[in-house]
Chain A
Amino acid sequence: MATKLPKTDIVLVGVGWVGGIIAAELTKKGYKVVGIERGKERSTEDYFMAHDELRYADRKEMMQDLSKETLTFRHNTTQRALPYREWGSFLIGEGTGGSGEHWNGQTFRFLPYDFEIYSETVKRYGKGKIPKGMMLQDWGITYKELEPYFDKFDAMTGIGGEPNPLPGSPQVKYPNPPMLETPVTALFKSATKDLGYHPYHMPSNNLTQPYTNPDGIARSACQYCGFCERFGCEYGAKASPVVTVLPVAKETGNFEVRPHCVVRKVLHTNGKATGVLYVDTRTGEEFIQEADVVVVSAYQMNNIKLLLNSQLGRPYDPVTGTGVIGRNYAYQTYLGTAVGFFDKDFNMYAGAGALGAQIDDFNGDFFDHTDLDFLHGATIHITQLGDRPIANNHVPPNVPSWGKEFKDASVQNANRALIIKAQGASLPWQDNYIDQDPTYKDAFGDPLLRMTFNWKDQDRQLMKFMGEKCAEIMKQMGAKEVKMTGDEIGDYDIRNYQSTHNTGGVIMGADPETSALNSYLQMWDCENVFVPGASAFAQNSGYNPTNTVGALAYRAAEGIEKYLKTGGSLV
């Protein structure tokens, strides 16, 4: 029998960026918040041994233990879904801070176009432009409405950046200057300018100077040590929940984190949640934490899993395209790239997670799609993250993947290979979705999620177009040899790392028929459950998701406070 614990105001399922922001905002206002976290409690001190590529990048030190729980995957409904047994295409973090600890810090706002993608597409090209099966829909909120929440996230984390020079793009004033210009970013900028594009420095959440945020949290500047993605920052220079929102929430005395505890179900009766059922994984003991508001704030997929397992919201049916939980799963269309081989050495071992330059000329609807066979686009960037030696073994075309020729070429090009990548938008399709797997179970016997996903012609055409743009820029940069990818994309391959930007499944919108959440991230079907996070995205853009996740979390925090005062549906 589960032990019932005293009721709290708000219970969080997961303590990452979303949980941390909501905890900070509401504990400051005097509300009691309990955060249930499946992993350990992390601190900056845990990262003193983080410059270890094998342990962190290859053995996935900071990621969820897949032996306890994973998902299954198939390309379509006729294929047998099989478990994602080892980490590959995406990496989900665990422990306080969640994936917000091991991220790179590239921090972009989604475009006004993203939030109204259906209306904008119909307005400019007509309904006929949207191919059959593509589930474009507006988010039920506009960029303008989200702007103050973006501003809050930017100030809290201390983003360093410069205005995007592209005409028509939102002009953001960042609290800190951009990262340093390097020979690599300068070369990219000069080449893209020559081609008539609009390069700028990528907005960065690796602090560019010492900064004290509005909560009084002071942090030091990034040292460009080259260990960001998949690592924790030993300086606390990379913005993460552990060094920003979590200490603020703790300081109030109103926040309690329960690490090593996994929530199995949101408990509810008559359209209202009463709390959550969780297990302390150290003892196996079950607890019920009652609360006035339940915030589902885990990773995108775990949010879907929890709702399906709790029988909350109507599960999505891919045959009819009806139902909402599991709908509009999208990813990141990120395989259009160009590797350039140069005659000179760059300091590629050095870098930071968000050190880079990019152009947005081919993202969103900044370019005319009338004669193109895809919608949306990609941002095209060059980054200098710190080329780690196990992961980076670039060889020119026609060099084999092992043996003397491979060794010599990969060693010789260790500091001579640059990569331009196109981070493409991923649009929703009726048959790309998430549901419960009928066969495989997690450590508690609950069904695993089942992902049904594949690239569409939309993605293939986008990646080919963008790969060619990447190659064009790389040639302009003076590479003596260029290797392009994106023109031969087959099925989605879950083995190779691509991006931890999984989105959708519990999307927001203006209509309860086609969305699970209203514009406050409040469930239409259960008024005291809020589900902020990338799971709320109606599609994925050509940008990293964290900034938009952060803005939605601030929006939800405001909604939760309103709800605690007035009750009922907020829209």
Chain B
Amino acid sequence: MTEKPKNYSRRDFLKTTGIATGALIGGGLIGGLVGLNVDKDDQHVSDTGNTNHEMGTNGGFQFFQNQREFNVISNATERIFPKDDIGPGAIDLGVPYFIDRQLAGQYGSNTKEYMQGPFAVGAKTQGYQSRLTRASIFRQGIAVLDEEANKRFEKGFSSIEAEQMDEILTAFQNDEIPMTGVTSAFFFRLLRTATLEGAYADPMYGGNRNMDGWKMKEFPGHQMSYINVIDKEKFQKIAPQPLGGM
């Protein structure tokens, strides 16, 4: 990654401009413009400064309906997997876009899961028992994250401070937030797993941008052979390779 002067993060930018609240200025159009402004007009505003990031911020949504939903997921996943001195966080890795694509497809519509009734609440250890698809659970989860932020801090989720976001996410994780047809702990579990998937899946799925997730973990991705590596005492660094070639 190229060194860039420390500026404010994309989230800070959204927050200071007031755009992230969504309540003031709704709609993906503005969201799109924000991305353009940030990355095209002033490279220094973006912390990553790579072209993938630029493409991503203008990538459009397959599942999310507006910038507000996207911002809530962006902020929530960033708290789960934050940017810090060891590397990029969920937003710079493209995790929100990864989740958008997943929710628009088979994963979101539960096409390979048994979704026949009757539905009943079981023991946690009996697993997924909601009649809702993952896409519906995420949509509701986003709305409830916003509601909870408004209830506690009189602002939308994307406008509160990082510690306040953590407080709310912890309450979700501890199953303290009422949801309809699903528990908040279940939603949190899905969200956490999807965040890690987006950070580390092959970049063709829209996350793990620039293979930065793999680079952090020194995971070489798709390689044909490690037969000359496997018995070596010393750690062998190998440049990562995605499935699609790059």
A residues at B contact (CB < 8 Å): 49, 51-54, 58-60, 65-67, 69-70, 73-75, 79-80, 82-86, 88, 180-183, 221-226, 344-347, 349-351, 355, 384, 387-390, 393, 401-404, 407-408, 411-412, 414-415, 439-441, 490-495
Contacts and interface: CB of A to CB of B under 8 A. Distances in A.
Nearest to B105: A59
A389 B114 contact: no
B236 interface: yes
A490 B123 CA distance: 12
Contacts of B118: 439
A224 B227 contact: yes
A414 B219 contact: yes
B133 to A, nearest CB: 11
Chain B, interface residues (CB within 8 Å), range: 35 or more
Contact of B201 (A54, A73, A401, A495): A54
Given A491-B125, A494-B125, A52 B229 contact: no
Contacts of B81: 402, 407
Contact of B224 (A79, A225, A351): A225
A326 B27 CA distance: 57
Nearest to A234: B224
B222 A85 contact: no
A74 B126 contact: yes
Contacts of A388: 200, 219
A127 B243 CA distance: 58
B82 to A, nearest CB: 5
B24 interface: no
B61 interface: no
B113 A85 contact: yes
A59 B166 CA distance: 29
A544 to B, nearest CB: 21
A49 B123 contact: no
A125 B114 CA distance: 46
A412 B202 CA distance: 20
A411 B125 CA distance: 29
A401 B230 CA distance: 30
B42 interface: no
Interface string B73-85: 0000001111010
Contact of B217 (A83, A182, A351, A411): A411
A10 B93 CA distance: 55
A66 B113 contact: yes
Interface string B188-225: 00001001110111100100000001101111111111
A411 B216 contact: yes
Given A65-B112, A407-B84, A440-B116, A223 B224 contact: yes
Given A393-B196, A414-B218, A75 B230 contact: no
Interface in B131-162: none
Chain A interface secondary structure, helix, strand, loop or mixed? loop
A177 B84 CA distance: 47
B3 interface: no
B75 to A, nearest CB: 13
Chain B interface secondary structure, helix, strand, loop or mixed? loop
B129 A67 contact: no
Complex A-B, nearest 6 residue pairs according to Cβ-Cβ distance, in ascending order: A350-B226, A345-B235, A223-B225, A389-B200, A414-B217, A54-B201
A25 B213 CA distance: 48
Given A69-B114, A224-B227, A349-B226, 13 more contacts: A51-B222, A67-B115, A180-B230, A182-B230, A221-B227, A226-B226, A347-B226, A347-B235, A389-B213, A404-B84, A439-B118, A492-B125, A495-B128
Given A224-B227, A402-B80, A414-B218, A75 B235 contact: no
A436 to B, nearest CB: 16
Given A73-B126, A495-B127, A408 B232 contact: no
Given A70-B114, A86-B128, A225-B226, A180 B231 contact: yes
A389 B82 contact: no
Contact of B218 (A85, A408, A415): A415
Contacts of B7: none
Contacts of B107: 59
A403 B195 CA distance: 11
A283 to B, nearest CB: 21
B86 interface: yes
B65 interface: no
A224 B225 contact: yes
B127 A494 contact: yes
A83 B236 CA distance: 45
B223 A346 contact: no
Contacts of A408: 84, 86
Nearest to A59: B107
Contacts of A390: 196-197, 200-201
A384 B235 CA distance: 14
A56 B124 CA distance: 25
A408 B85 CA distance: 9
A225 B116 contact: no
Given A51-B222, A60-B112, A390-B200, A82 B122 contact: yes
Contact of B202 (A52, A82, A393, A493): A52
Contacts of A415: 217-218, 235
A83 B125 contact: no
Contacts of B202: 52-54
Given A59-B106, A223-B224, A349-B218, A85 B114 contact: yes
A66 B18 CA distance: 45
A417 to B, nearest CB: 11
Chain B CB within 10 Å, residue with most, of A59, A345, A407:
A407
Contacts of A441: 116
Given A74-B126, A85-B128, A53 B201 contact: yes
B79 A403 contact: yes
A492 B224 CA distance: 38
B87 interface: yes
Interface string B88-111: 010000000000000000110011
Nearest to B233: A183
